[in-house]
């Protein structure tokens, strides 16, 4: 599933519904975060709760091709290792 570029609290309900629909399919969830240019704490809370839920069901949430903004924000929140993200590139 491809994530939108703007993942702010205003998009949280829409993202939650989309993730629930993907979850109902019963497969491991894979998210393409390559276009994310803005993400806030609320979205990370939703993703973390989903990852924990999936792990308890012996499956996982994978973040593919995370943008620098996604990785940098995860690092600021101390969540980069939790989501198994690569280290942000400092330019």
Helix (H) / strand (E) element for 62: namely strand 61-64
Task: List, as own/partner pairs, every contact residues 51-54 make where C-beta atoms lie below 8 angstroms and the sequence separation is at least 24, other chains included.
Answer: 51/82, 51/83, 53/23, 54/23, 54/28, 54/29
**C-alpha to C-alpha distance for 68 and 88, rounded to whole angstroms:** 6
**What's the pTM?**
0.90
Number of neighbours of residue 85 by Cβ within 10 angstroms: 17
- pLDDT (tens digit, 9 = 90+) per residue, 19-73? 999 998 887 899 999 999 999 999 999 999 999 999 999 999 999 999 999 999 9
């Amino acid at each position: 599933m491809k994530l939108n570029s703007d993942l702010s609290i205003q998009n949280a309900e829409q993202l939650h519904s989309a993730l629930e629909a993907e979850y109902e399919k019963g497969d491991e969830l894979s998210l393409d975060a390559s276009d994310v240019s803005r993400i806030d704490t609320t979205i990370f809370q939703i993703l973390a709760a989903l990852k924990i839920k999936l792990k308890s069901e012996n499956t996982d949430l994978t973040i593919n091709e995370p943008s620098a903004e996604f990785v940098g924000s995860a690092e600021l929140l101390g969540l980069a290792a939790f989501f198994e993200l690569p280290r942000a590139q400092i330019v």
